[in-house]
Each structure stands twice: as structure tokens, then as C-alpha cells.
Structure 1
């Protein structure tokens, strides 16, 4: 498939992870490769305090890095990708007709596209933010790049890439298109986007690219070999499932998706480990929603419903809900089977609701202990 050209660079990220520069509050430097693939030979094109360039690719890269930096700073109080002011270095005009953009663990690299399938990769803010978010994931959960943890890795980049675009455009969840990479296809291709969080599997369908293979439900999960040919176990394909869950949660909560939904997902990412898979991540988003916005809050219920709709049931919720029902039923009737005074019933229901909240916290504690071991 032609979109395979957008893969294959992620594996080199870990080789450069230790190359992060000292804190500089995310100062930007853009260099021009002049169609070479030898980064060391690139020339400085624009710096943080320098003037705008006459090259629009340079300026778009500069602004894209700045918008992503500002998003993480203002929304999550995060100082650059590593949280400690890591410099943001980028290279444009990489290679000849290079159909990709990637984050290698220390810098961003942009190709110009071949002019047939793709155009300049600096044109898409969500693609820029997607790639930079791989850096954020590397410095938080460090999600392993294969199978479900790898699909979560890709999903985090799609989710926050889309949020950066929405944040820049001040769009609500209902107004956003939820598409990734709408600006990098050439007009002749006739594809809507690389991926759709709203409708995984419907981003494109044409003779050149084929049909978008992303599933939107666990029943359609695609099992692929954990190698380059198999997209490391389908990391770009199965990411459609958690992508759809985030979209549904954002629509269920309403308003700006970078607010409650974004904070829930960011908190869950920060609490995840390298081997976290879909079920554990879903459980964590539910628990974080409760911690941030309250047990049984609109936000927590939206998260619960979103994961259920993509075929993932939050662990323990059914048991807790059943316990709550039985407790409320017991509160409605005294030991002799007679109805109690309504005020007494109300007090008992309130007390039992608090007990349910304690049970929820205990579940969260158990999960934390299991991670520690």
C-alpha cells in the first residue's frame, strides 16, 4: 500500500532519545537539507529569534512547532516535549521527493512529497503535532511500538495531533473534522485524509491507496505479524479503535475536546507504562475521569460509554454498579419489609453512594499496586 511510505521511521526514535538538549523552553531551530538526507550538512534557515524566511516550508515548520509547543504549555503546563524545555529542531526539504515526515527522538524531519501522491508535509499542522507527540509519549509512558501498545502510541499522536489543530482553530468537538493529514494529499489523489478519528475505515477509498483498513471496534481488530511488513502488529491500523473511543468521549462530553477529554487522556497517558494495552488504558481513562471530574460525573460516564461502543468494557464497573443497586434496594426497605421514612432513605442512599466511591478508589489502588509489581 502506498501509505506504507509513511511508516518505518519510528523504530529509530529510541536511538536518539538520549540526545535531548538541555532545557531551553522549547526554542526552535529550522534547517534546510536542500534535498540531501545528510542532516549534518543542513544549513540554518530560521531560529527562535531570527526573521521569517523566504521559504514557506521553513516558516510553516517553525509555526507548527510553535503551535504544538504552545498547546502543550498552555493546556497541560508541559515545558516542551520532555517536560523540561527540550529544544525543538526541525529539518525541511529532506531527500528528493520524500513522502514522509517523522520524529526520530531528537528532531523533526519533513519531506517535500513526490507531487503525485503527497505534497509538502509542513502543510499539515496535525501531522506536525502528531509526530511531535511521539516525543511526548516517549518521555511519559514510553509505549512500546508494536501490537496494542504501539497502536496506542499511534493513537496518542492522532488524538493530540487533532487537538492541536482544533486548539489553533478554536473549534469545538462538534465543529472539528477529526481528520489527520487533509492538507498533504495532492488534488489528484482524491483522498480525504490519512486517518479519521470520527470514522475509522473511511478516510480514503480510491484505486491508488485502496481502502482505509482501520477498524472502529474490537470485533474487527486486525492481527498482523509484529514486523515491518505487518506494520509492527498493525500499529497504524488498530489505532482506529482507541481513536474512535476518544472521539466518542469528546462528543459525549461536548465543548472543546482539549479540555476535559484531553486532560483525561493526557492523565491516562502519563499513568501508563511501556506495555499498556487497550483494556488497561481504557480502565485508566475511566479512573482518571472520576478523579478529575468526580465519580459518576458526565465526563466519567461519557468515557465509559465511549469505550463500550468500541467493544471495550471498563473492568469492574459492572460489579460496582450491581453493588450500588443492591445497596439502594436495601436502603428502600427496613428489616421488616416496611418502607422507611423518606428522609432516612435519602440519608442512607447518600451514605451508600459514598461507600461506592470508596470502592472505586480501592479499585484504582489495586491497579496501582499491580503496576508496581
Structure 2
């Protein structure tokens, strides 16, 4: 049975970068990170029986293929019912955008891939909009789709781009098929196949061929004034944005450039550019309309691999499903440095390993989230930094090893798609990783003191 997970749209490194460059947005970003952690905790702490009951409550409305709720800028889910399948437009733009995106996603998977809803059994879809205060993310929490309104400064509402809705819906499909483990190459594949299906949906709605498509993910998500075409570019990873507010798109598009990192669950949002580009190359080499050509090949591969599939294993699955298009598919993977049917043995090339904390320094790193940004802060306990006293008191009070062992912390055990992960590095215990939902009040305060974007509220 698939493991429920929270899949949010913005990768953590983008949120961290944004906070570091725009301190005036720190309050909103802090709220987003805390809410994401609460959601992950809710999913992890919910007993299996309770989770089943929650699913049953949604299933009770099977006559409705989908329902859109309004959280009223709160965080209680699912919120007030506003619109269901068959209802006319509500007049609330976010509600109606979510409804349009869910209907389009259901149609794509049914008509192009022969799949009946995300679970393959006609499961009703629940979506919630107006989630949180200025919430700059979107996620699938294992039961429903949830969308924030953005911050009104850098990010627009997360329903404005229909591929954001499709991406999160696709995370639900991944959960109920391969259930790809969210770390390293399998985690990058998890992110990539969601972009693949989202791109297929956009191209299908526009009636575009693979050659005509722009291959952008999240176009329109950034507000005017931000130097960005979109959040990701499947054709040219690493070129989607370059702006002082958010930094430069860090994605890579070839295995030689694979980012080896302890952040972002092994760089899942950075390295997803490699299989993204492979799909673009395959689709354009095959020609025609991607949802009818390369898309079904990728869907067949997703339904045939296991949770720990790596790039080479997934590539081999696409080659096996390619039929008379095998040369185009194999060639696409080879152009990004992946050899199908031969395991890569892990990552290689220009990445970085985790940096051990310097003596007497406390370091906090936050990574993950839909945009995949990484933010780092540190405090030198031997300096005259005014934060030292409180940081020292908190370190005396918290038990990082116990928190980590209690949750099975670390990539692949506590990580969830698009979720935030905090790494605490101290002279006493070294590096300990915790998902956001595991942060106690003391740990949240510690992060708030050390991370730059938190200091305004600390």
C-alpha cells in the first residue's frame, strides 16, 4: 500500500534564498515553513486507522468526482465546501482555477493514460484553496490538494498556473503507483515525473506539439517585476529565473553535473532537471504530441518500477515501454549522461557534501519545499553575538539525538516530497536532520534565531 506523503510545490532552497534576499518577507516565509511542518507531523502522527477513516470520509462523496474547499486563510483542512463537480463557477478565482486544474488532470490521466483518478479506482479528489496567511506553497498531503495564495510580492496564488495543480495531482498518482522514495535519484524522479505529466497537461490544453511547447513549469507563478520565465525549464534546466529576490535557477541537466548534497533530500529539486531534460529530448525526437507519444511511455515506466528506482533503472523501464520509439528514448537518456539498463552506482560530478560545523559554531540549514532552495545560518558561540546566550540555553534544553532517533530522521525515512527538512549542526552532537513537523517549540526558536530569514521575528 502506498505511503501517504506531503508533496509541496516550492522547494525549500528557493524559499530560503528568497528570505535571505528579501528580509521584509521573513514573517510570511516563517509561517509557510511552520505550516508545512505541522502538515507533515499530522500525516506522520495519524494512525493508520484514522487515515483510513479520513479516506473513507472523502469516498463517501464518490458521486462527486471532486470538491474544492475554502480554508479561509486558516490551516484547518479541508475547510468549507465551495464548489463540487457539476456546479457552476463560484466567482472565487482560486476556487475556479483549482476546479479547472483538477478536472483537466483527471481528464489527462483518464484519456491519455487510461487511469481512473489518482488511485486508479475513481477516488474523489479534494482540494483546498486560501490556505494559510500569505502561504507561498502548494502540496498533496496524502489525502488532498492544498494551495496557498502566495505573498503578493514575489509569488502569485498557487492555482494561477494550471501545471502547479497538475504537478500536485501527479504526486498523488506517484504515491499510488511506484511510491518513489523521496531522496536522491528516486526522489528526483518523483519530482520529475510530476513535472512531466504537468507539462503534458499544459501542452494538451494548448493543442501544442512537443516542438511547439515552451516546456516551462510554473509559468505565471512569479509576479511581474521578478526576472523569471517560470519556476523550471524542462528543455533548459537552470535557466528559468535569475533575480536578486530569488537567486538563480540551480537546476542541472546532465548527470555529470549531478549535485551531491545533504540538503533538499539529496538535491531532489536540483537533480530532477536531468530526467526532465531527458523527457523533453525524447518527446521532441519522437515528434507529435507528447501526451500521446512520450507521455504514455513515461507513465508505463512509472507503473513498472519500484520505490528505489534510480535514473538508470527508470530509463531502462522507459526503453522497455518505448516499442518502435526505442532509439529516440534511449538516445534522450544518453544525451543527459544516463545509460539505460546499467545502474549508475549513485551520483557523480560537481556537487558538495555536508559541511561539518566549525568548533563552537551552531549551524542550521533548511532545505526542501517546492522550489528546492537551501538556506544556511550560523552563530559563533565564542563571539559577542547577542544571540549566543539564548542559543546556548536552547542547546542545553533540547535533545537532538533523541528527537532524531524517535522519528527515524534522515533522507528516505522522515522526508516527504516537497517538504522542508532542518539540519542542526552543533559542536556537541554534530549534524542532526529533522523534518519540519518534528520541530519542538525550542527547536523552532533555535532555527528562528540562527536562520537569517527568521531573525526579524526571533
Once residues 199 and 340 of structure 2 are traced to their aligned partners in structure 1, the CA distance between those partners, rounded to angstroms, is 25
| 1:313 aligns with one of 335, 339, 347 | 339
4+ residue segments displaced more than 4 Å: 4-19
| 1:72 aligns with one of 101, 104, 109 | 109
Once residues 148 and 12 of structure 1 are traced to their aligned partners in structure 2, the CA distance between those partners, rounded to angstroms, is 25
Q: Which has the higher helix share?
A: 1
| 2:87 aligns with one of 45, 50, 64 | 50
Once residues 288 and 63 of structure 2 are traced to their aligned partners in structure 1, the CA distance between those partners, rounded to angstroms, is 30
> Aligned pair in 2 of structure 1 residues 268, 26: CA closer, same or farther (>3 Å)?
farther
Question: Can you give the 5+ residue segments of structure 1 that lack an aligned partner in the other structure?
Answer: 317-373
What's the offset of the Cα at 1:2?
3.4
Is residue 135–residue 148 contact of structure 2 (8 Å, CA) maintained in 1? Answer: yes
What's the offset of the Cα at 1:314?
2.2
Q: Computing the radius of gyration over CA atoms, which structure comes out larger, 1 or 2?
A: 1
Q: How many residue pairs are counted as aligned between the two chains?
A: 304
TM-score (ref. length: structure 1): 0.77
Residue 34, structure 1, aligned to residue 72, structure 2: yes
Once residues 146 and 13 of structure 1 are traced to their aligned partners in structure 2, the CA distance between those partners, rounded to angstroms, is 21
What's the offset of the Cα at 1:117?
1.0
| 1:263 aligns with one of 296, 299, 307 | 296
Is residue 64–residue 84 contact of structure 2 (8 Å, CA) maintained in 1? Answer: no
Q: How big is each residue's C-alpha offset from its partner over 1:49-92, in whole Å with a ceiling of 9 and x where there is no partner?
A: 32320211111111110000011111111110000011111111
> Aligned pair in 2 of structure 1 residues 249, 87: CA closer, same or farther (>3 Å)?
same
Once residues 306 and 13 of structure 1 are traced to their aligned partners in structure 2, the CA distance between those partners, rounded to angstroms, is 40
SS at match of 1:64: helix
Partner of 1:181: 218
> Mapping of 1:1-373 within 5 angstroms?
1-3=13-15, 15=44, 18=52, 19-20=54-55, 21-22=58-59, 24=62, 27-39=65-77, 42-225=79-262, 230-289=263-322, 293=323, 297=324, 299-315=325-341
Q: Which has the higher contact order (CA 8 A, sep 6+)?
A: 2
Is residue 64–residue 85 contact of structure 2 (8 Å, CA) maintained in 1? Answer: no
Question: Can you give the 5+ residue segments of structure 2 that lack an aligned partner in the other structure?
Answer: 1-12, 17-28, 343-458
What's the offset of the Cα at 1:211?
1.2
Once residues 332 and 42 of structure 2 are traced to their aligned partners in structure 1, the CA distance between those partners, rounded to angstroms, is 32
SS at match of 2:189: helix
TM-score (ref. length: structure 2): 0.63
Once residues 25 and 268 of structure 1 are traced to their aligned partners in structure 2, the CA distance between those partners, rounded to angstroms, is 31
Q: How big is each residue's C-alpha offset from its partner over 1:324-347, in whole Å with a ceiling of 9 and x where there is no partner?
A: xxxxxxxxxxxxxxxxxxxxxxxx
Is residue 155–residue 243 contact of structure 1 (8 Å, CA) maintained in 2? Answer: yes
